[in-house]
Structure formats: C-alpha cells, structure tokens
Structure 1
Amino acid sequence: MSEILPLVDDRCVVLDTCFGTGEAFLRQCQSSTRPLHYLAFLARPVTADELAGQSPALRSAWPDHVAGFHRLLLDEGRISLTLMIGDLANCLSQCVAQVDAFLVDPLAAGTVARRLARLAAPQASLHLSAASPVAALEQAGFLFSSPLQACYQPRRPVGKAVATGRRHAIVLGAGLAGAAICERLAARGWRLTLLERHADVAQEASGNLAGIVMPVLSQDDNLASRLSRAAYLFAVRRWSALAQPLFDGERCGVLQLARDAEHAAAQQRIALRWQYPARYARWLDSAEAGALLNCETPQGGWLFAQGGWAHPAGVCRALLAACGEQLTVRYQQAVTRLQRVGDDWQLLDADGVVLAQAPTVIFANGNGATGFAQLAGLPLQAVRGQVTHVSAPASSAPALVVCREGYLTPPVQGVRCAGATYDQDDALALRWSSQHDNLQRVQAMLPGLWPDTSGFALAGRVGFRCVAPDRLPLVGALPVTTASSRAERLRDVPRWPGLHGLLGYASRGLIWAPLAAELLAAQLEGEPLPLESDLADALDPARFRLKALRQSSG
C-alpha cells in the first residue's frame, strides 16, 4: 500500500472500500509518520476482537456496528480513522474529502467510479485489490499504468484543497463549545487566544453540576437522530480519552423511561425495527427497568449503557489543559464589538481598547453572540432552565441517570440534580415554582421515591440555554444576514470572512461540543469531514439565511 501514497505533503488522505479487518490500515499506520486521514468503508460488521494486530487503542475505540460515520482519533490525534457504515454508494456520496489514495474492491469499482472521481485529488492513486474490468474507472478519469494501479487525471485542472492563512484564532467563550474547539485546533498546531468575560470557565450554560450524555432515537432514524447518534458516540470516545479523574463524571448508564403505554409501544417498534447493539441502546420492559432501579416502574425504557453524566466545568478545564502552550486564556475580557482591519479582526471592549487580533474568530459564547452586529440576525433564543439540587448520600439508589420528561442524576458532590425547566422568562433567581415542577416530574417518573418534598430547601442553579429554532447547533462559517442576494444552495450564501460559530447547543453541550469542534476544525483545515454531508449541512449556520433568501425570491 505504501507505494501508492504521495511522497510529499504534510498529510495524506486514504479511502479504503475493502477495509476488512484493517490489515492495510495498520500497515500504513506503522509505515507513516505524517498525519493520516483514513476513510474506511465497512461492508460487514467487524468486532473489536476480529481486528488485525494488537492495537489496544483501536480495539478500545472501536464502535458498535450502527449506521453512519464514526471518527476515531488514534496516536494522540495523528491518525484519524473515519469508519463509514451503510450503503457504499450512499457513503461515498455523503463523504466530503479530497483523497490522495484509493484502495478499491474490484467488485464495486465500476458502480462507484464517478463517486470516487468526485473525491479524488489531482494525481490521486488508485489500487485495486484484484484485477477486474476498468472501463468505468477509465471513463471517470483514472489512467491505468498496470492492471491494478491507476492515477487520477481530471479533464479540467483542479487544485488540491489546502488550508490557507495564519493558523491563529480567537475563541470567545470558555464553556464546553469554546474549550472543545481550543483543544481540537491546538492538536492541529493552531495558536489560540481564548477570551472569557467571567473569571472562570463554564459560568453560563455550561455551569451545571452535571450534564447528561445520551442519544435520541426515532422510528424513521431521522436527521436529528442520526446527528445525535454521531455526536453521542464521538463524545463517549472523547470523554473517555480525556481520562478521569481529570474531571468528575461516570459512565453509569442512562435509563430513559417511556411516558405511557402508547409511548412504550412506539419505542418497542423502534427496537424491533433497528435492532441496535445492546451496548448502544437496549430496550428494557417494565420488570427489567424496575429491577435495575430497585423500584416499580409503570413502563419500560431505553438503557444507554455507555451514557452517564459529567461535570461540565471539569471537562472544560481538562480540555484547556490539553492545549498546552498553544493556548492563551484571558478571563474577565468583555468584548463588545469587532472590526475588520486588513485580513484580521480586532476585538474591542466598551472603551474601544483592542483586546485581541487574529484572522479567525470563533464565537462559542452562546446567547452573547447575537450582541455583535455581524451576528445580530441569527435566530437564537435564550431559554431559562432551573435545576434542583437535592441532598443525597453517595450510596443511595438509583445509581444511574434516569430521565423521562425530566431527569435525575446519581449523587454528584453530595446532591442529586433534578431538572430542568423550560421557562419563557429571564428571571435569574431560583424560584419555588420551578423547583416544584422539577420534583413533580421526578415523582411521576419514579413513584414513591420522594413521597413528600415539602421540606426540601430551595437549592439549585439557573442557566439560560442558547437554542435555535430547529433545536440543532450552528457549526461553521457565519452568514452575512444583512446581504440581499439570490441563493439556491448553502454555498451561495455570503459569509463573513474568518468568522465562525459554535452556537445553539441548548441542553446538550456535552454531546454536541466534541463532534462540533472536530467538524469546525476539519473545515478550517480542509480535512475530510467527520460526518455525512447532509448532517454537516443541517448544522450550517447559513441554513436559516438560505431559507429566508429562498422565501424572499420565491
């Protein structure tokens, strides 16, 4: 395999449609010292025990066989392995990459030749694992020098996509979104300046004692479910890689109970249709759920065995610590506006003092982002949420996260967290009515657990989620919302040069932050994207602007 890889460039992208148990992948990992992006199609389920070689890191990170793209980061991030599970033609259509070398199964080569050509970098090499008819590949632009090897010769000159400009970014906000993108860009050699208006990390939406890590399922495996699955599985791997006890958290499992008999029946249909691996999602009937909780439950529920909870502030600190000398953190920096100076952006305070300057600015400051003129048109809403803290001994049951309309955590720093409300006001103080709502939801979910809550003290926390209309994050280059233009596709929407967003994580920052950061870092570096193109488009900050432009021109 090594003979078909380019001898120059600072990184290499390989696409392998005959991954098998990973023999070729492991050979390349051992022979190359350059950053390697390896895109591998899995034609059949492969377990960790079947993998070639004895790589503990690969075996530990190996995912269950569920549809979608799965990015694994190995060798301290030098090697990026993206597994593609599904129909080959669809996976190639959804892949965003510029490939230097192809390893192709000859049985499928003819049917996907044009899709391979779409992904090929100029002079990309192609290697067939066995001789086969090559007419379709030749018509797509692959010139064969032998029965098994070819080179891509595009009919029109095409330059290879490379990252340009200085690799220095200013990040606004030291919550989960900001800390995660700092870690991902620092791992790629970027210099980061992190500005936070508070005196410490995670003082706003990321400031709760515990955040929940779990996916969302649906009968039709819709776009939100696919995004949730990709983000959840990537988050589980990333938080494990950070290695506790760098932060408080526990992969204790999450049990999501059905609301009623009708809802339980719908969930059972999902279980029957998709047959998820038990480690990812397992349906429990009411008796099994009750046995797990050591109390009766009216309905069954989903057990997400890899899920759990984590302390967001601790996660932020661990992420920032991983950045090393690539990162400068400055607290109590109140940025009020930004201005363009040449190819840079200057960030200024209320007195007009320049706090920082760089060609790239990443807004990871939640609801604070729309206070800037360039972002004022983004349709983001602040939604109040109150979490209730209830004193609990460390040994008390249940020992896992339980959720339905609300949630209840295991003991965290001596308390259980119950929440969280969705309130349509901006009150900062704790209030009894919100506490009552939280505890009522817990009592309905786990009857008899707390038969009398009248003596509970008013304790907890109020935060404000940053929420988009479709409840999905905004990840990527920010649109010019004041520009009037025609746009049929996302790429037609004008963008602010150098301005990017990681916004709208709502209640799911621990889930969204790792994958969103990896996606934005890949976009900035011109790397293969870690998820399918339609999912990346669903997170594009310009999606709302595109809809508005279409409506105005329609």
Structure 2
Amino acid sequence: MPKVRHRVNSLTEEREQKTVNSRKTSHFDSFIAQIVKNHPTKKNFSIGMIGLADVEKLISIILLQQNSMLDTRLYVKVFEADFSVIEQTNLDLKARLNNLCDKSTGSNLESDLERLAALKQLSATELISIPGCQRLILNRGQCVIDLYVGDIQTNLSHTLAPKLKDAFIDAWLHLSDSLDESLLWQMAKFSSRLAPLFSSNMNAKQIRLAQLTGFTLSEPHCSTLSSSDEVGNEIAEQERRALRQAQADTFLHYPQFPAKGGEIAVIGGGIASTHLALSLAERHKTVRLFCQDNGFSQQASGNKQGAIYPLLTPDNGTLSQYYQQGLLFSRRRLIALVDEGYNIANQLCGVLHTGHDERSRGRLDRIISAQAWPKDIAHSVNANQASQLAGIEIDKDGVFYPLGGWISPPEFTQAAFDKAAQISDVSALFNCNIVRIEQRENAWYLYQSPSEEGGNEIEHGPFATLVLANGHGLTQFEQTKLLPATGFRGQVSHIPARNELAKLNTVLCSHGYLTPSNNQLHCTGASYVKDPKHLDYCPNEQLDNLKKMQHSYEGKSWVDDIDISGHSARVGVRMVTRDHAPMMGCAPDLDVILEQYQQHQHTKESITFWKGNPAPVHEGLFILGGLGSRGITSGPLAAEALAAQLCGEVLPLDMTTLAMLNPNRMLMRKLIKGKAL
C-alpha cells in the first residue's frame, strides 16, 4: 500500500505541474499576441521577464522580433534566481536543436527552418551560470536579451534605471512564484507609465499591490486591462520617480550622463573605438572616427594573435565577474560576425594556464579552489590532462579556460567597423592626428595637426559628443592629462611553426603566453616596459620572451623549437590602470576636482560634500580606454556598455561594476572616505 500511495501522489503532482505549465504557456501566448497587436510604433521596445521560463519562450521572443517587429529593436530583460536553470536550458537547447536538425521534410518546413535558425543563434551564445548580466545580441543586432542570474531583488536594485523614457520597460511577464511589494516597486522603477503586467498566478493581494505600484494588469485569456484610478496612477508615478532619484543620488560620484543628439565623434582606431562604433550603429547613431594612422589596428590592437580568457580572483569579486562577462560578450560578438561572413582568424581552443614558480602556482591553486567555478569558465587539470589539451608535453598541473582561445585583433577590429558602416552612418578619417580638443558653446571641436610644416591646424566639428578611445594617447589632451593610466610597451615575438612546436593546439599562459600557429607563425611574449622611450624592435626583449618560455617549461623538447633568430616581432603600447579595470564613462574634470579638494579634505564634512554633490565632469566628453593586456576580453563589453549609457538605456552592468569602470574612481574612492589624494 505505501508504494501505491506514493505512486498516486506522484501522478497527482505530475498532473498539477502539467496544468501549471500549460497555464503559463497559454498565458505567454496571450502575452505575445497582445505585444504584436498593441506595441507602439517606436524604434525600441522593452520587455521584462521574471523567470527564465523555457527555451520555447525564448525562441518565441526571437521570432517575435524577426517576424512581427522587424523595424523595432527589441530589448528583453530576463531575471532568473536559480543558477541550475541555466544548465537545464542548455540541455533543452541541445535536445531541441538535434530534434529539428533531424527533420528533413514536413508540412511546416519553413517554420521549422526559422525555429532552427533561432535555436542555432541561442545555442551559440554559450549561456553560463555566472552572477550578473549576460547580454545576448541576436537577429543581427535587432534583438537584445539580457539574462540576469542570481537573486532577482538584488539584480533589480543594483541596476541603474534608464535615463531616458524611451528605454523604460514597456511590458512585464511574470513567470515565477514569488511577487511581493518590494519586488514590484523595483520592477516599477524600470517601467513606463501604466506598463502592463502579465501573470498567470497572481492572488488578490498581489493584484492590489501591482495596481498600487502603477501597473496595468492583464488577466489570463482576457484582452481587457485593469488598472487603478487616475489619482492612484499619478501617486504611483511620483513614487517611481522618487525611487529613480534616490538611486541616482547614491551614485552622484560616478555620473552616468547620456549623450546629446547629433553626430558622435570618436578618436581612436582599435578594438575600443570600432566596437563602440558597432554598438552605436546598432542603435542607428551617426559616428565619425578619427584615426592617426593610415588604417585600423596600427597601435596596441595590431598583434597577429591576441589571447582571450578571463581574469579570475579567489574572491570572484567585481573585477573577476566583469572579465567573465567580457569573455562571453566578446565570444558572442566574434561568433556572430563570423556567421555573418566577416573574415576573422580565430581559434576558440581554450587557454591552459600553468604556474612558472612556487608563487604563481600557489596563486592558481588559490583561485581554482576558492570558488565552485562553472566548468566552462575554469577547471583544474592534472599534468597528463594538460599535455593532452596542449598536444605537446606540458607535465604540469594547471587551470584550463575552455571558452578562451585567440583572435586576430586587426581582423576583429576591421569586421566591427565594416558591419557598423553597413548598418548606419559610420565613417573613418585616417592619417588624422588630433593634437588637441576644445569645448565651445556646449560643442566639441577637434584640431588636426597641419598637413604641412607651418600650416594651420585643421578643425573638425562641432560635435555634441566626443569619445576618447585612442589607446596610449588617452592622456595626451589637456582635459585628460591627469587620468591615472600608464603606457606599457609590449613586444610580441613571431615564431615559425616547426617540429613539435607546430603541434600546439591551445593557448599557453605561464610566465609569458604562446599561441597555436596561424599562417605558420606562433606569437609569444610579451614584454612589459613602463613609459617606453621608443617603439623600435628590441633584441633584448626578443630574448626575454624566449627565456620566459624556457623558464615556464624547463626541459621540454618543444621549447627548443622556439626560434627567434628571424627577429620578427611587433611592438605596441597598452594603457594600463593600477586596478587592472578599463576606464569607461564620463570624463572627469580633474582640474575642478582638485580645486574643490583644496576646500574639502580630511574631515567628516568633506566626506559629506563628496558623497552629496555630483562629481565634476566635462559635459559631452567620454572615456573608453585603459584596456591593458586583455583588451579583446574587456573592450567590446565596455564599448557596448558605453553605447548604452550614451543612448540613455539600461546598462548591462550593475552599479558596483560601473563604479569600478568609472574614469574618476581612483580619486573618488579616496575622497568619499576622507583620505588624502
């Protein structure tokens, strides 16, 4: 009898779960139908979802934009608390993809092909169970899905509300079980006035709370909407504004101002500037790039191969989480561009990280043992596994980053610009050395060095918005000369592929790095020289690059195949910050900050002043730089976040990360603690 009773209970639970799933699916279909019918003719439309739901609903969202909102950029913000749902979603994706691939004929062949294409897009995004936001850009830039994993209340409260009304969430779909007043107000903070809230399982109390917070309600299977009275709606709207203002007041020292209308000027010609151009082009902005060289990637981004892998820390703090998000975003950018036919040499073969001395081995051990890292982010390997992964004899324990690899920075840069120029009004002016910038009448003017000796400077402008993404030239202007970033020379050696060395099939990272071959050449290096006096080839640095590999893998026969006798190398300068985080955001007015510091320092009152007053900035001037040695990993996401800021959108980074990236962070960290500069 106990077994029979257990079976009856199991069947009852199974029927109840099927009923719940059926109700949610039916309500989701009703939600989609109303979006198609009622969405306004606006260029951008935003949907919020509490709960990831399932693969079918994600595919429906992708097809919704593709088939019914072709001229609309659709933003979907999904908040999911359960990390295990990500793994289940990936398994479901693979199963559905295999099932559709097996179908060769059928009455709904066209529909199956559309679904197959959507499934392939979604599968290529490599969803990973990491905290924070993962941005997926699908449908050639027209469908943007932000997946926030972790506590929903925390993710909502730690994300800045958009600056412009057009970026507010237009409709919410609630697919979770929990919905309280606190969560509803956080949702309301992001929402447009009377945004509809669709939910399949709200009780009477939750309905009253939803109306109290200013939502229009949609009941299952009903086309009519219910809301509170006009007075109640106005009160709710006032409360929403108060919430946004209160949040903004806590972030005065890390301002997030959007750009004004008009053309956007960008100085630079590398990863940062071209990926910013692409992110802005996807928002249909007009962009003018000014590059001092005769083509892109003549500076730090000109290496033949650049490694891409995360920077992890034992505490998995903000910096570590940002580099994981950056890795995933750069991979998605790469895969999407390659799928669209752009030529980008790459090999996402993973990165094998081994220690070269007792200290570095200890640090790796602390990193990999301190967290339950998702296996696709990082996992430990023993000596035998390391050799198998590398294809050559390693015989050292280490850490493997499966999603890493190498990318050609010049081709990644060129592809980003080419796509940007294809989809919007984006152009570049080469051989244009901008020697100074000036603001007049709320507009920026750029001054190019004379084309001939004794000639006059060439003026470009006016521009309402100017972004400095010019690598090691970031501090060359009067407005930015005090930014805390330093140039480090790096010489990368080019090694012929031969003998055992040619068998290397993953990127090695130890005292230096070594890539698998591309066009019969490996890259190894790089040197690290502060404030270089010149950028000429240096024989000593070439030898040092060899010694790093010899030191890292002593006694291995393949190391003898590293041949530097051809003196083939490339030199570039990376701009490095002390905390290893890029700079992204409004350009601080450091002269004004230092003037104010003379009156407000080292007291409790000074702390109150710095916390309670907006940090001085140059209006309309923005910074995107300090990418350091991992620009391919960190740059594209920083560019996407800055584009979102310039357009007044919800940024795909939380407030803690934005504070870490802000160009004035090092000064403000001290000032708001009352410390001396």
8 Å CA contact 2:394–2:553 kept in 1: the answer is yes
Provide closer, same or farther for how the CA distance between residues 75 and 145 of structure 1 changes in structure 2, counting only shifts above 3 A. Answer: closer
Deviations 1:6-42 (A, max 9, x none): 5353322222112211444444441434211111123
2:508 aligns with 402
Per-residue deviation, residues 423-467 of structure 1 (Å, max 9, x unmatched): 134232222321222111111222323348797243312211111
CA distance in 2 between partners of 1:455 and 1:18 (Å) = 55
- Normalized per residue, the structure richer in strand is 1
Between the aligned partners of 1:105 and 1:277, the Cα distance in structure 2 is 26
Corresponding residue of 2:603: none
1:410 is paired with a residue whose SS is: coil
How far did 1:333 drift?
0.7
1:271: how far off? 4.1
1:378 aligned residue (458, 465, 483): 483
Name the counterpart of 1:173: 268
Task: Map Cα deviations across residues 168-206 of structure 1 (whole Å, 9 max, x no partner).
Answer: 111111111111111111121111111111111111111
Cα separation, 2, equivalents of 1:83 and 1:158: 25
Amino acid at match of 1:316: T
How far apart in 2 are the matches of 1:106 and 1:240? 32
Q: Decide whether aligned partners of structure 1 residues 354 and 455 sit closer, same or farther in structure 2, where only a CA change above 3 A counts.
A: closer
Higher helix share: 2
Q: Deviations over 1:276-331 (max 9, x none)?
A: 34333232111210233344435312222222112211111111111225122111
Change (3 A) 1:142 1:403: same
Structure 1: runs of 5+ lacking an equivalent: none
Change (3 A) 1:169 1:145: closer
Q: 1:521 to 1:231 in 2, by over 3 A?
A: same
Structure 2: which amino acid aligns with 1:89? Answer: Q
Q: In the alignment, does 2:522 pair up with 1:419? A: no
Q: Does 1:494 align with 2:558?
A: no
Query: What are the equivalent positions in structure 2 for 1:83-122 lying under 5 Å apart?
Result: 83-97=147-161, 98-105=168-175, 107-110=177-180, 112-122=183-193
Matching residue of 2:209: 137
For these two proteins, the number of residue pairs brought into alignment is 554
Q: Give the letter for the 2:475 counterpart.
A: T
2:14 match: none
* 1:510-521 equivalence runs, <5 A: 510-521=632-643
Q: TM-score, normalised by structure 1?
A: 0.91
8 Å contact kept, 1:102–1:127: yes
| Matching residue of 2:583 | 474
In structure 2, give the amino acid aligned to 1:134: Q
Aligned residue in 1 for 2:415: 318
Deviations 1:246-296 (A, max 9, x none): 122221221111345675566456445544343332321112102333444
Mapped partners of 1:144, 1:293: distance in 2: 57
**Residue 105 of structure 1: CA displacement?**
4.2
The range that moved more, 353-362 or 113-122, is 113-122
**Residues 491 and 73 of structure 1, relative CA distance in 2, 3 Å threshold:** farther
* Pair 1:428-2:499 in alignment: no
* SS, match of residue 348 in structure 1: strand
Could you say which residue in structure 2 is the equivalent of 1:48? 90
Match of 2:551 in 1: 444
CA contact (8 A) 1:113 1:140 kept: no
1:391 maps to 496
Deviation, 1:386, is: 1.5
Cα deviation 1:507-542 (Å, max 9, x = unaligned):
111112210111011001112211222112211112
2-side partners of 1:455 and 1:58: how far apart? 43
Q: In the alignment, which residue of structure 2 is the partner of 1:57?
A: 121
Cα distance, 1:321–1:145 mapped onto 2, change above 3 Å: closer
> Kindly tell me: are residues 193 and 296 of structure 1, through their superposed partners in 2, closer, same or farther at Cα, counting changes over 3 Å?
same
SS of equivalent to 1:202: coil
Q: Paired residue for 2:646? A: 524
Aligned residues of 1:257 and 1:301 also touching (Cα < 8 A): yes
Secondary structure (helix, strand or coil) at the match of 2:650 reads coil
Separation (CA, whole Å) in 1 of partners of 2:356 and 2:48: 44
Residue 409 to residue 10, structure 1, CA distance change in 2 (3 Å): same
Counterpart mapping for 1:36-435 below 5 A: 36-42=74-80, 43=82, 44-45=85-86, 46-51=88-93, 54=116, 55=118, 56-97=120-161, 98-105=168-175, 107-110=177-180, 112-132=183-203, 133-134=205-206, 137-138=209-210, 141-142=213-214, 153-156=236-239, 158=241, 165-243=260-338, 246-260=343-357, 264=361, 267-268=364-365, 270-272=367-369, 274-324=371-421, 326-350=425-449, 351-393=456-498, 396-424=502-530, 425-435=532-542
**Match of 1:508, SS?**
helix
Match of 1:174, SS state, is coil
Which aligned runs of 4 or more in structure 1 are off by greater than 6 angstroms? 146-150, 159-164, 452-455, 551-554
Residues in 2 aligned to 1:542 and 1:378: alpha-carbon distance in whole angstroms? 8
1:352 positional shift: 3.0
Stretch deviating more after TM superposition (426-435 or 517-526) = 426-435
CA contact (8 A) 1:337 1:372 kept: yes
Q: Say if 2:55 and 2:89, in contact at 8 Å, map to a contact too.
A: no
Q: Which one is further off, 400-409 or 45-54?
A: 45-54
**Residues 1:17 and 2:50 aligned together:** yes
Cα distance, 1:138 vs. partner? 4.9
Whether the 8 Å contact between 1:117 and 1:140 is mirrored in structure 2 is no
Whole-Å Cα distance in 2 between the matches of residues 8 and 489 of structure 1?
Answer: 41
Q: Is the 8 A contact 1:479 1:545 kept in 2?
A: no
**In the TM superposition, what are the counterparts of 1:539-554 in structure 2 within 5 Å?**
539-547=661-669, 549-550=671-672
What is the distance in 1 between the residues matched to 2:635 and 2:429? Answer: 21
**TM-score for the superposition, normalised by structure 2:** 0.75
Mapped to 1, the partners of 2:265 and 2:59 lie a distance apart of 37
The secondary structure found in structure 1 opposite 2:135 is: strand
Matches of 1:146 and 1:224, distance apart in 2: 41
Letter in 1 for 2:545: N
| 1:489/1:17 CA distance change after superposition, 3 Å | farther
Greater mean deviation of Cα atoms: 425-434 or 446-455 = 446-455
Which amino acid is the alignment partner of residue 65 of structure 1? S
SS of match in other structure, 1:69: strand
Residue in 1 that maps onto 2:254: none
C-alpha distance 479-7 of structure 1, shift in aligned 2 (>3 A): same
> How big is the shift at 1:228?
0.6
Distance 1:303 1:156, change over 3 A: closer
Distance 2:337 2:195 in 1: 36
Question: Partner residue of 2:628?
Answer: 506
Letter of the 1:35 counterpart: R
Residue 421 of structure 1, CA deviation? 1.4
Query: Unaligned stretches of 5+ in structure 2?
Result: 1-30, 97-114, 162-167, 228-232, 246-256, 450-455, 601-608
Q: CA 1:294–1:37 in 2, change beyond 3 Å: closer, same or farther?
A: closer
Q: Letter of the aligned partner of 2:191 in structure 1? A: A
Residue identity opposite 2:238 in structure 1: R
- Secondary structure at the counterpart of residue 294 of structure 2: coil
Q: What is the Cα-based RMSD across aligned positions, in Å?
A: 3.0
Q: Aligned-pair distance for 1:139?
A: 8.7
Secondary structure in 1 matching 2:189: helix
Task: Give secondary structure in 1 for the equivalent of 2:177.
Answer: helix
Q: Which residue of 2 aligns with 1:32?
A: 69
CA distance 1:455–1:517, shift in 2 (3 Å) = closer
| Structure 1 residues 377 and 150: CA distance shift in structure 2, 3 A | farther
Task: Describe the shift of the 1:138–1:240 C-alpha distance in structure 2 as closer, same or farther (beyond 3 A).
Answer: closer
- Structure with larger Rg: 2
> Which residue identity does 1:96 align to in structure 2?
L
